[in-house]
Structure 1
Amino acid sequence: MKVFCGFSKMWRDAGTPADSFYEVRPECTDVPKTTFKIKAGKTLSVRKWQAAFSPEGYLDIGRTLGRIQRGGIHPLIRGEVWEFLLGCYDPKSTFDEREQTRNRRRAQYAVLKEECRQNFHLVGSGRFVTAPIITEDGDPILDPIVLQQTQQADNGMASLSQENGTSYSSGMVKEVDKKIIQWKLTLHQIGLDVVRTDRTLVFFEKQENLSKLWDILAVYAWFDSDVGYCQGMSDLCSPMIILLEDEADAFWCFERLMRRMMMWALEYDPDLFTLYEDPDAATEHSEGSKGKTKSIRQCGKYERENMKSKAKNAEAPLPISVFLVASVLKDRSSKLLTEARGLDDVVKILNDITGNLDAKKACSGAMKLHKKYLKKAKKT
């Protein structure tokens, strides 16, 4: 995901230099250079994006996918477009319906965040922890680092409770609820990853942005306890809070992204890979809902190829992530075969890909491998 947020210079439709959309600290000279430029007539511009909506707000997503594939998305609308691509909003919904959905989700996020704050008082305080706060048995860890990190928040919240005439407790007591214990065990790991995330960007020099990233990841770990938190989620969430100003909107965008990233470990589930599925449809439109079936024009090239071969192949299609990984490995195959002498060398070579991956080349390679796979599957 760092491919999307490590751009030090961007260009407008006219081709004139513009201020950096994702400003990089001047002293960071080892940031990978990008060849991305806004291409007039190819990049999805603000004007073309707005023209894809009907007066009521229905989005002709088919008009935008081709431009996105050919020239990317203009930075000014990238966050809004991502919300549709990740399935936060149904293209068949109206402006009013999306506004209602947005308000409902923001309220739901506020409830989730308050639940987390009740379980651990630093959530939403503007601060976070980088040291363990609890043992696996539920006993609090009175680590000096934790005490130092929480002292400022404790003082502020204690003062506020005195003004309101309420009692305040830091919550440093033995915990017995297994779900809360498991959640608290992840908080310091989230904090450690947060302070290491995209440190070359000026955006993360602000404590409030680091705290926002920690809050979203902490709430997500509580919201989806089966997944919890895994190292690397902070890198995936980082572009969301950069592109989307509202914390709740960034959370739900990240949540939709994570529905697709389970795909690294689980068996294929078509429900997880439906591009425009609406999980709220069952409660919002129990009867008489609009048709959700996608036309082939609304699908991307990968989906279209799968749809064409579906009649001849009864098995569920492989997720595109399989072909992306295969494409990267194929591109690095000569280096792996000639330089790797063991697992440590393999890990080092693959780690060097971070921040240096040519996303367009990887996607093109994945599509070629996918096409070869379908041909062989058709013969067998």
Structure 2
Amino acid sequence: MPLLACASEQRQGFSMEDDSEIYRVRSECQDVATSSVPRRRRRKLSAEKWRAAFDAQGRLNVKRVLRHIERGGVASEIRAHVWEFLLGVYSPGSNAAEREELRQSRRDKYLKLKAECKRMDAAVGSGEVVISPRMNADGVSMEENNPESIEEQTINGVLDPSPSAKIVQWKVLLHQIGLDVVRTDRVLEFYEDPKNLGKLWDILAVYAWIDEEVGYCQGMSDLCSPMVLLFPDEADAFWCFKCLMRRVFITFDVGKRENFRCTNKMMGVQKELSFLAAAMRVIDPKLHRTLEALGGSNYIFAFRMLMVNFRREFSFVDTLTLWEMMWAFEYHPDLQILYMESPDGHIDNAQPDYRAGGRFAKRNIKYGSPRALNEHPSLAVFFVAGILVLLRSKFIKRIQGLDEVVRALNDMSGKIDAYRACQKALKFHKLYLKKVKKSNT
């Protein structure tokens, strides 16, 4: 299977005994959270078990590997390849030759998109990270020694005297992307190399161009950074990130991309926060009433956790493990089909296999229907609920205001066992479903 070999070769030169050897932290950053998961419980999907899950043509028996991932994540040397399947970059039913063809097609497509962006701004692909404003909302260039206006910008190599607002919006976003990029995961040795920062900026700039509805919002750099580190080829990192964005948007509301959309009437993760409030009313009514009395009935203090998928609550290593465990638990055949997108923008016509599903997804199917994707909160919501219940005694007995709630949650950073937290989330999910079913009968 050539793709597996390629994925394995990506990590050559690294020790696979400890993730921290791969995702090294800069020596001067001593206050960074370290892994809180005991080594004896790191039962990760191994390269050997991963290879054994493919048939002779290279088709993946996804059911065979999900349980291993749920128990402790994925070994570092195969992580990039496994993520491509968990996120829907490739269908488990595809063979090795089909995946290689699609990979090359997507690489070509990314190069074309990047070239299109470069024609509008020369910084794209140059390795430069733009941190100063390029253009104001009126379409006037703000670059030094460049008084030209938007009327002198080109697209697709052709002078456009009246370009759309899309170009203006994109150019306005570029410096915000840059400001976030230079702050993202700077504790890692990987980002001491300016070329890696440039790759992260390029991916986000291209994504902002093709996604007219969302563009770019703060938090996306945190979600994209692991992709840049895992995939030596920038195009592969881009497509994995793009599928993650589809997953973020689709999981909570098919057709309504709310997670990164902010308006004067709605904050991006509002639906998830509403789900969290509903779940807490069922799981722990007393704690919910306490938080409500403190003015936290909207659970806005959990905004950051849900927005960037717990990047601040765990070490970089534990975040990767947590993500892949949660993706395995939530693996749902219908959703995977929605995640899968071909280079031309069409969704793959794969057939769902309901035997292949994560524990969380199967429970939702049991208490709902296979097609009811959004009847229940996401696993992330129950994950937050577990953290809140862990702090229950402090919240009920000592905390007097929401600022103290936020402080208590911040103090938990780096102290949560990702594995145990997942088990607690699943426990609360089961409790929630049972109580909801009982109240409806």
How high is the TM-score relative to the length of structure 1? 0.78
Quote the Cα distance in structure 2 between the aligned partners of 1:127 and 1:54: 44
Q: 1:220 to 1:355 in 2, by over 3 A?
A: farther
Distance 1:229-1:99 versus aligned 2 partners, 3 A rule: same
Aligned to 1:194: 181
Matched, 1:33 2:34: yes
For residues 221-270 of structure 1, give each alpha carbon's deviation from its aligned partner in whole angstroms, at most 9, with x where no partner exists.
111121111111111111111111111110111111111223344769x9
1:292 paired with 2:336, answer no
Q: Does 1:279 align with 2:337?
A: no
Could you tell me which residue of structure 2 aligns to residue 72 of structure 1? 73
How far 1:335 sits from its partner (Å)? 4.0
Aligned to 1:259, what secondary structure does the other structure show?
A: helix
Q: Contact 2:386–2:421 (CA<8 Å) still a contact in 1?
A: yes
Aligned partner of 1:224 among 194, 211, 214: 211
**For residue 192 of structure 1, what is the amino acid of its counterpart?**
L
Structure 2: distance between partners of 1:185 and 1:104: 30
Equivalent-residue separation in structure 2 for 1:283 and 1:192 (angstroms) = 30
Cα offset, 1:40, TM superposition: 9.5
Question: Aligned letter for 1:317?
Answer: H
Inter-CA distance 343–266: structure 2 relative to 1 (3 Å threshold) = closer
| Structure 1 residue identity aligned to 2:363 | E
Q: Which amino acid aligns with 1:184?
A: K
**Which stretches in structure 1 are left out of the alignment for 5+ residues?**
1-9, 148-172
Partner in structure 2 of residue 361 of structure 1? 420
Contact 1:39 1:71 in 2 (8 A): no
CA–CA distance in structure 2, aligned partners of residues 355 and 108 of structure 1: 39
**Quick one: structure 1 residues 281 and 216, their matched pair in 2 at CA, closer, same or farther if it must change by over 3 Å?**
closer
Aligned pair partner of 1:254 in 224, 238, 241: 241
Post-superposition CA distance 1:292-318 (Å, at most 9, x none): 12232x111001111211259977333
Q: CA deviation at 1:128?
A: 1.8
- CA distance, structure 2, for counterparts of residue 18 and residue 324 of structure 1: 23
Between the aligned partners of 1:175 and 1:69, the Cα distance in structure 2 is 52
User: Could you say if the C-alpha distance between residues 120 and 71 of structure 1 is closer, same or farther in structure 2, counting changes exceeding 3 Å?
Assistant: same
Q: Could you tell me how far 1:319 is from its partner in structure 2?
A: 2.5
1:305 matches 2:363: yes
Q: C-alpha distance in 2, partners of 1:92/1:341?
A: 54
CA offsets 1:326-347 (integer angstroms, 9 cap, x no match): 2233333444455654444444
How do 1:163-242 and structure 2 match up within 5 A?
Answer: 176-242=163-229
Deviations 1:61-95 (A, max 9, x none): 11111111113211011111011111110001000
CA distance in 1: counterparts of 2:80 and 2:141, whole angstroms: 40
C-alpha spacing 1:181/1:357, structure 2 compared with 1 (3 Å): farther
Mapped pair 1:373 → 2:373: no
| Cα separation, 2, equivalents of 1:335 and 1:121 | 53
Distance 1:47 1:127 in 2: 40
Contact 2:133 2:143 in 1 (8 A): no
The amino acid that maps onto 1:194 is: V
Which amino acid letter does the alignment assign opposite residue 47 of structure 1?
E
Residue aligning to 1:136: 137
Q: Give 1:48 deviation, angstroms.
A: 1.0
Verify the 8 A CA contact 2:113 2:206 in the aligned structure 1. Answer: yes
User: Which deviates further from its counterpart, 336-345 or 102-111?
Assistant: 336-345
Whether the 8 Å CA contact 2:106–2:235 is kept in 1: the answer is yes
Contact kept in structure 1, 2:33 and 2:413, CA below 8 Å: no
Residue 21 (structure 1) shift: 1.0
User: What stretches of structure 2 of length at least 5 have no aligned partner?
Assistant: 1-13, 148-159, 253-258, 260-268, 273-330
* Matched position secondary structure for 2:29: coil
SS in 2 for 1:275: helix
Gap change, CA 1:188 and 1:219, over 3 Å in 2: same
Does the CA contact (< 8 Å) of 2:341 and 2:347 recur in 1?
Answer: no
Could you say which residue in structure 1 is the equivalent of 2:58? 57
2:388 to 329, 332, 335: 329
Q: Do the aligned residues in 2 keep the contact of 1:133 with 1:188 (CA within 8 Å)?
A: yes
CA contact (8 A) 1:139 1:174 kept: no
- Alpha-carbon deviation of 1:200? 1.1
Relative to structure 1, the CA distance from residue 272 to residue 318 in structure 2 (aligned partners, 3 Å threshold; closer, same or farther) is farther
Q: 1:311 to 1:125 in 2, by over 3 A?
A: closer
Secondary structure, aligned partner of 2:22: coil
Residue in structure 2 matched with residue 95 of structure 1 by the alignment: 96
Cα distance in 1, alignment partners of residues 370 and 48 from structure 2: 41
- How big is each residue's C-alpha offset from its partner over 1:269-295, in whole Å with a ceiling of 9 and x where there is no partner? x99971354333999899xx6x51223
Aligned to 1:168: none
TM-aligned CA deviation for residue 183 of structure 1 = 1.0
Give, as a single letter, the amino acid of the residue that structure 2 aligns with 1:44: L
How much has 1:356 moved relative to structure 2? 4.9
Match of 1:111 in 2: 112
Separation of aligned partners in 2, 1:313 and 1:72: 27
Partner-residue secondary structure (3-state), 1:375: helix
Distance in 1 between the 2:121 and 2:333 partners?
Answer: 31
Provide the C-alpha distance between the structure 2 equivalents of 1:86 and 1:376, rounded to a whole number of angstroms: 31
**Tell me, what secondary structure is at the counterpart of 1:274?**
helix
What's the counterpart of residue 300 of structure 2?
A: none
Whether the 8 Å CA contact 1:312–1:378 is kept in 2: the answer is: no
TM-score, normalised with respect to structure 2: 0.68
Matches of 1:97 and 1:41, distance apart in 2? 33
CA contact (8 A) 1:132 1:188 kept: yes
Alignment check: 8 A CA contact 2:166 2:212 kept: yes
Q: Deviations over 1:139-192 (max 9, x none)?
A: 111459x99xxxxxxxxxxxxxxxxxxxxxxxxx99852111111111111111
CA drift of 1:355 comes to: 5.0
Q: Alpha carbons of 1:356 and 1:206: their partners in 2 closer, same or farther (altered >3 Å)?
A: farther
Amino acid at match of 1:309: Y
CA distance in 2, matches of 1:344, 1:18: 35
